[in-house]
Every structure is written in structure tokens, then in C-alpha cells.
Amino acid sequence: MGISYHENKRIFKLDTPKSTYMIGIVDEENFIGHVYYGRRVVDEDLSYLLRTSEGARVPSKNNRDRVSFMDSFPVEYPTHGIGDFRETCLSVKSKLGHSACSLSYISHRIYPDKPKLTGLPSTFGDSESCTTLELICEDKVLKLQVVLVYTVFEKLDAITRSVRILNASEDCIYLTKVLSACLDMDNREYDMLTLYGLWSRERMINRRRITDGKQLISSLRGISSHQEQPFMAILDKDANEDQGEVYGLHLVYSGNFMAQAEISQFGLLRATIGINPVDFSWKLEKGESFISPEAVLVYSSEGIGQMTRTFHDLYRSHLIRGEYRDKKRPILINNWEATYFDFNSEKLLSIAREASRLGIEMLVIDDGWFGARDDDNCALGDWVVNEAKLKGGMPYLATEINKLGMKLGLWFEPEMISPDSDLYRSHPDWAIQIPGRTGALNRNQLVLDISRKEVRDAIYDSISKVLHSANIEYVKWDMNRCLTDLGSACLEADTQGELYHRYVLGLYELQERLISDFPQLLLENCSSGGGRFDPGMLYYSPQIWCSDDTDAIERLSIQEGTSLIFPLSTMGAHIADCPSHSNGRSTPFATRGYVALAGTFGYELDITKIPEEDRQLIPEQVAMYHKYNDLVRTGDYYRIASYQSNHEYDCIQVVAKDKKEALVTYIQVLARPNYRTRRIRLKGLCEDMIYRIEETGLVLSGGALMHAGIQIDNMWGDYLGKIIHILAVN
């Protein structure tokens, strides 16, 4: 396993347990060709796949038709303006205004370990778990050094890629496009799987055939967005949950991105992913470097389900950090849907008292505790407790809440500024805006220019002051609008194109500072629901609020799409009141609990006002969480049935790594008359192990549970659910 270089053949072979990735250096000019990515093979040389002896041949043998070669050769990192007319990854503006760029291989390094990407989130590993290849390439004319960095995970079918660019010339160069990865492969009637959505309906699964031309998903909103996830899977047209080849590409980045599948004239498929080049440019002075975000490549020859499980394992062990990564999170109650802006200390304490009596462990005070914030029109940026509303401020509340045996958590929206705020009145130029233009408001707010250090420092100081003032153990970091009217008061005309990326770097720096200064803090990211649920943010917070849609039935699809790539431990999920504030639907309290159990699990309702029969269920739900959360957080996830596709019922299963325990969650969305029991075939168990179903006492082999299945009675009524706990007996 790991990475090997076969010098005589000029082949790099990157092996994971079940996949091989091969790169070939070709011809006198040292072109870097993409040879193969797929199921693991023992061979050291598959360079015939590059087709260099067919048709156009290599330039050294046929330079009169160089363009034909450039436009068909499968490239590791294609560059702009030299005859490759497919989507390229790198484009520049040189001192003379030229955009072309041409790379050839110079040397390489192979070493155990994985380098950090300065200022950017990335997966991590050590010399035991990772091997890295750096391909050092150069554009001789521009004197640009481009290092293609690949890391192989020894135990997971995952490879990461990023690019480091150094300006080794005497002049400044502008980068106008830097993508993170490209995959050139023969098209085999592949499908493309992406996650699309909008506010309250994030990450719906979309599968479609890749046809001629380009199919692009992207964001230009300054955040990864509700609308598209920086993720794309290329999969066999017949691939399903359990079989078929799947290539997953995910960008560890929280800003503008593009991911694209393109079929070119010869039926070659080119998949690309990286920072969206629209409105992007980066000035590199002599000696300066630029680092691209990391792209994660996951290969599965066992269907979509295995891709999911690899992403989950990778992110749980090699992306998420901190105190809470491997720990049960405190069961929280958040006051947003309970009170919105209408609360005071007494109201919050009455919620906390009842919550603690029933076993809930943390009270989170959401929006409205600071400045003059009594609605969502003002005060963002004024991070000072409103003591008229909250008598005694945070120290008093924290003390009272701690006395109840609970923790206290607090909401912030650090990246924003309300025009009606003290902060804006003293620093109007701190908002992102274009001089002379009235910036577009969204939720009556503007975005702070956190690309500026003094802005970051001021915001951080006011937030950390609040956090130091009392025992606050959780922060919900919200972000409720996209970026528009891009302009920074501190950038020159030729560097304004850096603002989107500098904003994201500023965000990462702020969050890094927060978790370093408060290492015990549980941070939950959020963006108007799930608008920035991406692997970049996961590097800083082990959980992210999934969606403002808290209706349990809607959540089935949202959580299904999210868990396609993100572990269940990361999905912020709460039991909310009914009729649902999202859509007016009423679902049984128990069902809401089963759905939230597949995420972080918490409450978002006025516990002092909900019906008594619901309240009585809370201790049972709390016990259920404590019983199953270790399994849910750490186990292997299987999709058994999708309500998003069958429109009737949903079923997921989590299996312990040692296969001795499993939990099945079944939700019957729609009841139908005169139906017989439904048969559900389980997955991921051990064929020969004998299991006992806790609820029925039935004893069966793993083989029987998986191939014959279990029967689930038709339940009387819509929106009902149950969980089925399976334990090995031998």
C-alpha cells in the first residue's frame, strides 16, 4: 500500500486498500498524465491507457499536431491556453497580460505523513496513517512552480489532493483560476450524483446521466450554500447502494466553488473541482505562494453506501477535531422556536428548570440576547448582553443554569453587521460594500469585511469578552446571508478579486482562534439553517445545524442527503413543537425523537408549554439517546429505504464496527389500508453471528436478518416510527 514510484516506467502508483490511482510522466517534455483510478490492481504500469501511440501521438513525434495531443491527453492538472480546450484547472494573467500556462514535471517527493495546508482546513493524518506524494512541476516561461500534492490514507479508500503555487519569477503574477483537482477518465455512461437545495430543504439527492458537454454545480454566494454542496459523485449508471463503482469528490472549502463533469469530443470524461473562478483572482508577488483548498477523492467498488461509509470514517477520524469529536454531546434545549426574540431571564430559567428536571443537559440562548436586538432588524455586531432583558447578564444566568446541573450555550452571528447598530455607526466602512452603491440588504443586514485583520480582532474581542464573562460551554455560530456587492475598503483595484477567498480565510482564522482559546467549547456552525454545512466548517466544529426545517418528516430527506457524505454525529437535529413551525404538520412526539436520534439530538420548543403527554415522553427519549448515541455516533451507516425515493417509508440502520450491535430506525410516513407486514432486509451484519432482536426476542442469524429480512407491522396512522435494537448473542 501507500505510494511507489517506478522509475524505469516513470509511473507513480498510489494504493489504498481497495483502489489504485496511477500517474505517468510522458514524453520529453514531461507531461503529467492521468493513467488510471479505480479498483485496486497489482500492476505497476498501465500507461497504455494514455493512448500516446494512437492518433495524435506525443509532441516529440508529431509536433505539427500538438493541439490534437493537448486536447485529448488525460492530464493530471490541465492548464489554460495551450491547446486543451476542456475545462482547465489553472489560468493566470502574466506581467504581459497573457493567460496561458504550461506545466511539466521536474521532480517529486514521497514521504510518510500529511502536510497541513496553512490557513485552510484539511483532513489530517500522521506517518502511520498517510503517505504523501508531491509532484513538483514548473512553467518555465512564467517561472511558476506548481506542486501537486496527493495524500493516500492507508486504511481508507480516500486520496486527497491540493495544489501549492509559488511565484519564482521576478515579477508579480495574477492567478485567475486555481482548481484543486481534475479526474480524466474514459466515459462509461456514468451518472452524476449531487446535493442541491434551498433554505429549509437542504441537500436533496439528485442523480442524472452525464451527457455531452458540461454539467456544472457551483456557488457564487460567498458560502458553500443551501443550493449546492461542493460535492459530486461520478458513478456507474447501474450503481446502487450496494454495488457498482462510485467516485466521490468533495471540496474542503466553505466559499464559492465549482464542480463539473464534462464529456469531450472523444468521449473522455473530465471531472473538476475547486474554487469558483468567477470573480476570483489572486496576486502573487515574487516569492509568494498560494495554496488551494483540499479535494477529497473517495473510491468505492461497492456502491454508494460504501462511499458514504468511507467519507464518514475519514471525516470522523481525520477531519473533525477537539474535545467533543469522540464524545457524546450534551442534550441541549434551544430557545429559538420556543420564544424567538420574546424572552427574559425568568423565561429562560423556567425553560431550564423544567428541562433539567426531565434530563436535558444544556440550555442554548439563541438570537436576541444582545444590544437592542428585539427583532431581526438591528444590533448585529453589538455583542454586549442586553441587561434590561437578561437581568444579571451571563454571569447570573450561567450560575443559575449551572446550579440546575446544566450547561449554558450562546448564539452569535459574528460575520454580520446591522446598519442599525452601534458597530455600524462607528465603523460604516467595515461592511463589505462598493463605494457609491447601496448594498443589497438581506434580513436587513450587511456582511462584515472579515478579510481585514482589525475587523476580525474587534469582533473576536467582543465575542471572547462575553465568553470569558461566564461559564459558557457551547457556541452556535450563525451566518444568515450571502455575500453581495463585493468590495473591500482595504484592497487595491487589482486585488479586489481576492475578497471572496480572503473572506473565507478570515472566517477560518477566527474559528481557529476561538477553538484554540476555548478548547473545551462545543462549537456548532450554522448558516440560516444548513447553508454552510461543508467539510471546511467541520474542521472547526464537530456539528453543524442541518436545517431550519425541524419537521420530522421533511427532516428524513434532509438528513438522508446530508448523511450521504457527513457522519450522523455532525448533523444538528432537534425535536421541535407541533404543529411544525416549518410547515404546520403534526407528527407524534415519539417519531420526532427517532428522527432526531439520527443526529446530535436536542430540543427546540417551549418545554413549559408543550402537551403533558409529550413532556412525559422526554425522560424516555433522554434515556434512548444515552443508550444509543455511542452506536449512532461511531457506527457504520446503511440506507435501507429512502422516503425521498419511495414516498412511503424510510429506514436507516447503524451497525457497530465490531458488528455486535445494530439499530434500525423505521418511519412509516404514510399509512395505507389493507397492507401486510413490510419486509426489511438489513445490511452490514455478520452472516454467521446470531442476533437477538431486543423488542421481540426473536433470535436469528445475521444471514437471515440480511437475506430473509425482518417484518414490520403496518402501523395505524401516518408519521409513526419505531426503532429496532439488535444485539449479538454469541
By C-alpha distance, which of 575, 578, 673, 684 is closest to 624? 575
By C-alpha distance, which of 561, 543, 642 is closest to 203? 561
- Are β-strands 104-112 and 268-275 bridged in parallel, bridged antiparallel, or unpaired? unpaired
Residue 413 C-beta: closest distance to ligand DGJ, Å:
7
545 binds ligand DGJ (CB under 6 A): yes
Closest to ligand DGJ by CB, 258 or 523? 523
Closest to ligand DGJ by CB, 427 or 481? 481
Phi then psi dihedrals of residue 311, to 5 deg? -60, -45
Residue 291 C-beta: closest distance to ligand DGJ, Å:
31
Question: Residue 619: enclosing H or E segment and its boundaries?
Answer: helix 612-634
Polymer length in residues for the chain? 730
Pick the stretch among 124-132, 350-358, 524-532, 606-614 that binds ligand DGJ (CB under 6 A): 524-532
87 binds ligand DGJ (CB under 6 A): no
Residue 548 C-beta: closest distance to ligand DGJ, Å:
5
CB-based contacts of 438: which residues, under 8 Å, 6+ apart?
none
Closest to ligand DGJ by CB, 312 or 532? 532
Residue 414 C-beta: closest distance to ligand DGJ, Å:
13
Closest to ligand DGJ by CB, 102 or 418? 418
Residue 126 C-beta: closest distance to ligand DGJ, Å:
36
In one letter, which amino acid is 611? Answer: P
Task: Note whether 514 and 539 are within 8 A (CB).
Answer: no
| Interatomic CA distance for residues 59 and 407, integer angstroms | 67
User: Binding mask 327-346 vs ligand DGJ (x if CB under 6 A, - otherwise)?
Assistant: ---------x----------
| Interatomic CA distance for residues 600 and 625, integer angstroms | 9
Closest to ligand DGJ by CB, 78 or 368? 368
526 binds ligand DGJ (CB under 6 A): yes
Closest to ligand DGJ by CB, 239 or 544? 544
Residue 583 C-beta: closest distance to ligand DGJ, Å:
16
Closest to ligand DGJ by CB, 381 or 529? 529
Concerning whether 375 is annotated as a catalytic residue, the answer is: no
Residue 10 C-beta: closest distance to ligand DGJ, Å:
52
| Interatomic CA distance for residues 57 and 46, integer angstroms | 17
Residue 119 C-beta: closest distance to ligand DGJ, Å:
27
Among 367, 382, 449, 478, which one carries the catalytic annotation? 478
Among 15, 366, 548, 606, which one carries the catalytic annotation? 548
Closest to ligand DGJ by CB, 488 or 528? 528
Interface with ligand DGJ: number of residues (CB under 6 A): 12
Pick the stretch among 118-126, 159-167, 389-397, 522-530 that binds ligand DGJ (CB under 6 A): 522-530
Task: Note whether 477 and 261 are within 8 A (CB).
Answer: no
Interface residue with ligand DGJ among 16, 145, 272, 528 (CB under 6 A) is 528
By C-alpha distance, which of 727, 723, 666, 660 is closest to 699? 727
| Interatomic CA distance for residues 574 and 555, integer angstroms | 10
Task: Note whether 631 and 654 are within 8 A (CB).
Answer: yes
| Interatomic CA distance for residues 187 and 531, integer angstroms | 32
Residue 332 C-beta: closest distance to ligand DGJ, Å:
12
Closest to ligand DGJ by CB, 367 or 661? 367
72 binds ligand DGJ (CB under 6 A): no
Interface residue with ligand DGJ among 478, 498, 524, 650 (CB under 6 A) is 478
Number of Cβ atoms within 10 Å of the Cβ of 285: 9
Number of Cβ atoms within 10 Å of the Cβ of 218: 17
Interaxial angle between packed helices 589-597 and 612-634, expressed in degrees from 0 to 180 and rounded to the nearest 10? 20
Interface residue with ligand DGJ among 15, 87, 366, 382 (CB under 6 A) is 366
525 binds ligand DGJ (CB under 6 A): no
262 binds ligand DGJ (CB under 6 A): no
User: Binding mask 381-420 vs ligand DGJ (x if CB under 6 A, - otherwise)?
Assistant: ------------------------------x---------
Task: Note whether 709 and 680 are within 8 A (CB).
Answer: yes
Peptide bond into 673 cis (omega under 30): no
By C-alpha distance, which of 610, 625, 613, 629 is closest to 355? 610
Task: Note whether 269 and 252 are within 8 A (CB).
Answer: no
Interface residue with ligand DGJ among 24, 529, 635, 684 (CB under 6 A) is 529
Q: Could you say which residues in the range 480-499 bind ligand DGJ, by CB under 6 A?
A: 480
User: Binding mask 583-622 vs ligand DGJ (x if CB under 6 A, - otherwise)?
Assistant: ----------------------------------------
Concerning whether 478 is annotated as a catalytic residue, the answer is: yes
By C-alpha distance, which of 374, 371, 487 is closest to 428? 487
202 binds ligand DGJ (CB under 6 A): no
Task: Note whether 597 and 552 are within 8 A (CB).
Answer: no
Three cell numbers written together for 534 = 461543508
Residue nearest to ligand DGJ according to CB distances in the complex: 367
By C-alpha distance, which of 543, 547, 548, 459 is closest to 507? 459
> What distances in angstroms separate CA 82 from CA 66, 103, 268, 347, 550, one per listed residue?
9, 10, 18, 67, 51
Interface residue with ligand DGJ among 138, 302, 473, 548 (CB under 6 A) is 548
Closest to ligand DGJ by CB, 366 or 554? 366
Closest to ligand DGJ by CB, 377 or 471? 377
577 binds ligand DGJ (CB under 6 A): no
Helix, strand, coil percentages in the chain from 3-state DSSP, rounded to 5: 25, 35, 45
> What distances in angstroms separate CA 613 from CA 100, 270, 347, 458, 604, one per listed residue?
69, 57, 22, 48, 17
Active site residues: 478, 548
Binding site for ligand DGJ (CB under 6 A): 336, 366-367, 376, 411, 478, 480, 526, 528-529, 545, 548
